[in-house]
């Protein structure tokens, strides 16, 4: 069985198991991300950011620290293939990953969580 097929099966199973517990599983395809603009577009699309999302770092931070529109008990964010963005735009990557890590810490509260898995 190919690695991609194994990955797809694992993701399908984990998503179903977590959805049954009210937890959203969101996959970010890092192969689509080359810079700040495509990072923000991909996250906004996959996390279903509201229409008012301003496509800048402050707006990203605001939305990732809200997530109420997902109507979930928590979010597992699976970020695949982050390497291209990380290596081609290290300054932008530092900001993006910093916001993600801050959001994980922010959501360490009873009743909700955000976890980010880099694959």
Q: Inform me whether the pLDDT recorded for 11 exceeds 90.
A: no
Q: Are 117 and 76 in contact (CB under 8 A)?
A: yes
Gap between the Cα atoms of 58 and 111, Å rounded: 25
21 by Cβ neighbours in 10 Å (0-12 / 13-18 / 19+) ranks as: exposed
The confidence score (pLDDT) of residue 111 equals 87
What are the pLDDT digits (tens) for 62-119? 999 999 999 999 999 999 999 999 999 999 999 999 999 999 999 998 889 999 999 8
3 band by pLDDT with thresholds 50, 70 and 90: confident
Give the chain's domains with CATH numbers.
3-118 (3.30.370.10)
Gap between the Cα atoms of 33 and 15, Å rounded: 23
Tokens (6 digits) for 57: 């770092």
Gap between the Cα atoms of 92 and 102, Å rounded: 15
The confidence score (pLDDT) of residue 2 equals 81
Gap between the Cα atoms of 39 and 46, Å rounded: 11
pTM of the model: 0.89
Please choose, from the candidates 118, 44, 46, the residue with its C-alpha nearest in 3D space to the C-alpha of residue 82: 118
């Amino acid at each position: 069985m190919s690695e991609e097929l194994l990955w797809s099966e694992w993701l399908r199973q984990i998503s179903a198991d977590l959805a049954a517990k009210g937890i959203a599983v969101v996959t970010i395809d890092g192969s689509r991300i080359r810079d700040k603009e495509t990072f923000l577009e991909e996250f906004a699309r996959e996390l279903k950011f509201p229409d008012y999302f301003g496509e800048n770092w402050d707006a990203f931070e605001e939305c990732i620290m809200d997530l109420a529109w997902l109507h979930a008990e928590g979010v597992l964010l699976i970020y695949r293939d982050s390497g291209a963005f990380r290596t081609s735009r290290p300054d932008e990557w530092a900001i993006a990953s910093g916001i993600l890590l801050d959001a994980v810490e922010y959501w360490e509260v009873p009743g909700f969580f955000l976890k980010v898995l880099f694959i």
